[in-house]
Chain A
Amino acid sequence: MNDLITGNEAAAWGARLAKVDYVPIYPITPQTEIVEKISKWAADGLINARVTRMESEHSMLTAAGAAALAGARVFTATSSQGLLYAFEMLYNISGWRAPLVMVNVSRGLASPLTLLPDHNDVLAARDSGFLQFHAETCQEALDSVLLAYRIAEDSRVMLPAIVNLDGFYLSFTRERVDVPEQKDVDDFLGPYKVKPLSKENLPSMGITTLDPAVYSYFRYQVHEAQKQAIKAIDDATKRFEKFFGRKLKAIEAYMAEDADYLLIMTDSFSTIGKRAVKRMREENVKVGLLRLWALRPFPIDDLVQAVKGKRGIAVFDQDLSPGLGGIIYQEIAGALYGTDDAPKLASFIGGLGGKIPTDLDFEYMVKVLKENIPPNEPHLLMSKSDMELVKKQREIALRGGV
């Protein structure tokens, strides 16, 4: 089936094709369409999943994790504030080694309150032990859900996964999506492997340890499993290409091979970045782009390979760690520190609350690289017209909103 569907619907199709047994739900913009779609399919008998409305994201994640341990393939979805409300349970669920898949539809965090996307929500989860895959397109939203199940349930991994897609720009945007055949997905995924609870199988789960060494051991295990996930990603993406003909990688390289300068981006704005790269190439600027699809595990070796011999790298962070700068920039700097001939790095913050980066922004980024403007200082992207809008609104607000 090939149809024009939204990113939300594409993600829901991923869950449907994975034949999930259980979907605990709770509404939040811009994710809600996903759980509405799944609820309708359940009401129409098109899926066998049990759908339960929970009373908060915290409970939703708890139910999701518990069900995954009890033997059900589980899907759930949230956004932004909801992800943060559930936060405590992310660490529990990775420690439980419950391989469920959760979609996060990115949305900036309050305050101020917004509905449009950036990645401070999902990146807050980076230390939780969840795997993280970031979709660029609606097609990729679907494909990433299927791949996430395959990787999460890999016996070397057994960790929960987040699939991230941008609110509005993907969630409510229709694109042509190839929806795979059920039979192929069945073969691609195989059955869920966690043994269901039974009279003969009632283990103790999630229990306390009072020994620091034992605690350390189990948290190290989560890290080791994340490292194994690098291999699992490689195997799963190759298998995916064989089944469905689409190629995904931990890091996608776009016009990168012969480039002197690279932009590094994630998620849907990468499409805007690619357009800017193409345009600059027409002006003989040798620039390319790396898009991180996998953020956990962080594909360090692939990154080191991909930047070898480049003169400069501009990291576009659609997030901000106040007092430090870009989160992904810090991760990349950490990964490259001490490697031979590590290229110069520059950090750019943009796209907060869905602010679309412009051609001028991208040109500025390359200019900074070329002219060797001091590193480590994050550049906060804000154009003149952006500032004029802010000024106008501030004037109204200071008048008392009239």
Chain B
Amino acid sequence: MEPLSFKLNTVRDTPKDEHLYPGSSMCAGCGAQTMIRLFLKVIGKNSIVVNAAGCMTLLQTYPLSNLSTGWLYTAFACAPAGAQGIRDALDSLIDQGKIPDEKINVLVLTGDGAAYDIGLQSTSAAMDRSLDFYYLCYDNEAYGNTGFQESGATPYASKTATTPVGRVNDIGTLKPKKDLFEIWRAHEPSYLATISPAYPMDLMKKVEEASHLKGPKMFIGFASCPTGMGFDPSLSMRVARLAVETGIWPLKKYAHHEITHTILPKFTPVEEYLKVQNRYSHLFNPKNEEAISRIKEQVLLYWKKFGIVPKSNSHS
């Protein structure tokens, strides 16, 4: 991987180059696309994206492409294995002196279904082998491309197409969100971070930091999803920002054996985040105090572990 030739201090330092062009078949307001656009601005077009089945598979529909990078679609479970094959092939040919080392980046791009569920094994193994690659998981907390069904990433009380609300179940998803960050962290990757499309500088700085390191560089991004989560496309960045401000989506990084929170939450009341999304509408009609306070408790419990507590009067 080639270290960057520029420094990111302010938003003005954002590279002007675009590697994700407009005109894809993604939904309006797709948070994932914004993250990919920013991500590629940092690592550049000398990259090959290795994709698993998901929304972003439709970035490339024959004969059209809106990426200036290379692309390989593998299958649902195995994008990290595809990345392994490409890296190994190039390294083998470089070692044998058959080709020069052009520092081509390999970027795995999958949704949460692949990352949290069906592809967890292949991701674990790629990290275990210290594969030199980037992984960007765009996490919209459900199987979005198939119509928003529950995945391992779906949080408690989110309604999905397979965890609908009914007479027997008025909560929707009953389990908490799987902690993929900690699962990945147990593998000691070179770099691991959460990102958000609403915090572009935070996102790009993290990718830039990671670019100096060899080995697995792992990113879990909050993919605000108007279609699945249920809000107007114009609110996409607002929802992504609220996820961070409420403390529900911690922005953090793990590098050199240390977790650092890069943006601290304001502990904005979680209701402000929940009530703008249709997937939580059942919690407000009538108001399900018990479920909402359970969500609050989970948020507080998370931050308490790091000694971060809301100032009095907030998070009421």
Contacts and interface: CB of A to CB of B under 8 A. Distances in A.
Interface of A: 21-22, 24, 48-50, 52-56, 58-60, 62-72, 74, 88-89, 92, 196-199, 202-211, 214
A199 B102 contact: yes
Given A52-B88, A56-B122, A202-B104, 4 more contacts: A21-B92, A50-B88, A58-B122, A66-B84
A69 B89 CA distance: 9
Contacts of B88: 22, 24, 50, 52, 63, 67, 72
Nearest to B121: A55
B140 to A, nearest CB: 19
Contacts of A71: 89-90, 93, 99
B255 interface: no
Interface residues on B, range: 35 or more
A92 B78 CA distance: 12
B91 A65 contact: no
B72 interface: yes
B226 to A, nearest CB: 22
Contact of A59 (B50, B84, B89, B104): B84
A210 B58 CA distance: 10
A58 B85 contact: no
Interface of B: 45-48, 50, 57-58, 60-62, 65, 67, 69-75, 77-78, 80-86, 88-93, 95-96, 98-99, 102, 104, 121-122, 124-125, 128-129
28 contacts: A21-B98, A22-B88, A52-B129, A53-B129, A54-B81, A55-B125, A59-B84, A62-B75, A66-B85, A66-B86, A66-B89, A68-B89, A71-B93, A72-B89, A72-B92, A72-B93, A74-B89, A196-B89, A197-B86, A199-B104, A202-B45, A202-B46, A204-B65, A204-B70, A205-B73, A207-B71, A207-B73, A210-B61
B74 A198 contact: no
Contacts of A210: 61
B84 A197 contact: no
A72 B87 CA distance: 11
A397 B77 CA distance: 40
Nearest to A24: B85
Contacts of A197: 48, 70, 86, 89-90, 104
Nearest to B83: A66
Interface of A is mostly: mixed
Contacts of B78: 58-59, 62, 89
Contacts, number: 156
Contacts of A22: 85, 88-89, 92
Given A55-B122, A197-B90, A202 B82 contact: no
B155 to A, nearest CB: 28
A210 B60 CA distance: 11
B86 A59 contact: no
A343 B219 CA distance: 65
Contacts of B70: 197, 202-205
Given A59-B125, A67-B89, A205 B61 contact: no
Nearest to B76: A88
Interface of B is mostly: mixed
> Which of A67, A74, A209 counts the most B-chain CB atoms under 10 A from its CB?
A67
A53 B130 CA distance: 12
A205 B72 contact: yes
B85 A207 contact: no
B93 A202 contact: no
Given A58-B78, A72-B92, A206 B72 contact: yes
Pairs A-B, 3 closest by C-beta atoms: A202-B70, A66-B85, A63-B85
A27 to B, nearest CB: 14
Contacts of B47: 202
A197 B86 CA distance: 9
Contacts of B57: 208
A48 B92 CA distance: 8
Contacts of B82: 62-63, 65-66
Contacts of B121: 55-56, 59
A209 B62 contact: yes
B75 A92 contact: yes
Nearest to A194: B89
Contacts of A202: 45-48, 69-70, 104
A66 B91 CA distance: 13
A54 B96 contact: no
B153 to A, nearest CB: 22
Contacts of A88: 75
Contacts of A207: 60-62, 65, 71, 73
B278 to A, nearest CB: 28
